[in-house]
Amino acid sequence: MSHNLQLAITAFGEPDTLKLQQTEIPEPTTDQVLVNVAYAGVNPVDAKTRAGLGWGAEKIKDSLPWVPGFDAAGTVVNAVGQYQAGDRVAGRIVEGGGYGQYLCANLDALSRIPESVSFQHAASLPVAGLTALQALELADLKAGESVLILAGAGGVGHIAIQLAKTMGATVYASCSDANLEFVSQLGAKALDYRASALDAQVTDIDVLIDLMGGDAGEAALACVKQGGRVITVPTITADRIIAAAKAKGIEAQGMLVKPNPVQMDALLAKVAAGELHVEIAKTYPLEHGVQAHIDIQSGRTRGKILLEMPQ
């Protein structure tokens, strides 16, 4: 039997509920490719799902053990459609499964990785890059407007800063003191959220990209001008933020990132051209996925955390 080493959520709870398991290599359907995964991204939604929170947990509660991982980059094993064996691909895998050596992916979920882009950088883009781009587009950010991005040093935030700059916006981003220089180098006016309330540092913002939700997301509404727009990404507190915004005369909406190969192609092209920097905080071997989850749920990581699959 051919083995597929995976890291699975065995029960809802703390990071140590993640356990290694051996399964057979999956068989792709006629409209799927088998991908030998090189790297998978670790995202906050992974940790929330493992903890039993949010839409992800509700979806998989009767399917445990379940293998997370919505970001994946690797090599095509079987020739199907436009892909040949050996092609380097990355994509947003809606069904999960990135925390494993092999997964089956729909043809329309994948993008080819340019030669000059590493597997690591490609694996960092499907969730974080698409979330950043889709949030800014949903907000209808225009050149000359101001935007405040919460958690500017994080996986989504550091990409959103750069994309907002290319759109011609004036960008502000919240971060800790340790990340002020990093966020500034990306092109944003860095705001130390520990130094003082954000609304004491900036007001009359046109657009708020809320990547934190909860108390932080609600407090940041005070920075937004009347008639401003808010996109709140954490689904767990979206209803709360939307209601609080409405009470202030601010338009707010939540979002769920969607697979979009055209947008992925564009993001990969920007990385290849040196127009988009992807920060990788740390790469763990699959066997150390528990530590990766401890890190990601701390909310203090800079850029992306990845898992490397054994080959």
C-alpha distances (whole Å) from 266 to each of 114, 119, 133, 275, 309 are 11, 16, 10, 11, 26
The whole-number average pLDDT for the span 222-230 is 97
Residues 241 and 139 in one domain: yes
The band of 11, judged by pLDDT with boundaries at 50, 70 and 90, is very high
pLDDT in tens, 256-292: 999 999 999 999 999 999 999 999 999 999 999 999 9
pLDDT of res. 149? 98
Look at residue 104 and tell me whether its pLDDT is greater than 50.
yes
pLDDT of res. 2? 65
The band of 212, judged by pLDDT with boundaries at 50, 70 and 90, is very high
Residues 289 and 227 in one domain: no
Quote the mean pLDDT of the chain.
96
Residues 102 and 174 in one domain: no
Residues 139 and 122 in one domain: no
pLDDT in tens, 119-141: 999 999 999 999 999 999 999 99
The whole-number average pLDDT for the span 43-71 is 95
Higher confidence at residue 144 or residue 301? Answer: 144
The band of 157, judged by pLDDT with boundaries at 50, 70 and 90, is very high
pLDDT of res. 256? 94
Residues 157 and 194 in one domain: yes
Q: Which domain holds residue 142?
A: 128-254
Percent share of the chain, pLDDT over 70: 99
The whole-number average pLDDT for the span 166-189 is 98
Residues 91 and 156 in one domain: no
Which CATH number fits the domain that encloses residue 287? 3.90.180.10
The whole-number average pLDDT for the span 90-104 is 96
**Contacts of the segment 217-224: beta carbons below 8 A, 24+ positions apart:** 217/150, 217/241, 218/244, 220/148, 220/150, 220/174, 221/245, 221/248, 221/250, 222/197, 222/198, 223/148, 223/198, 223/199, 224/148, 224/248, 224/250
Residues 132 and 71 in one domain: no
Look at residue 1 and tell me whether its pLDDT is greater than 80.
no
Residues 241 and 273 in one domain: no
Look at residue 180 and tell me whether its pLDDT is greater than 70.
yes
| Number of domains the chain contains | 2
pLDDT in tens, 25-39: 999 999 899 999 999
The whole-number average pLDDT for the span 240-247 is 98
Residues 117 and 139 in one domain: no
Residues 245 and 179 in one domain: yes
Token representation of residue 269: 């092209």
pLDDT in tens, 72-96: 999 999 989 999 999 999 999 999 9
Burial of 86 per CB tally in 10 Å (0-12, 13-18, 19+): exposed
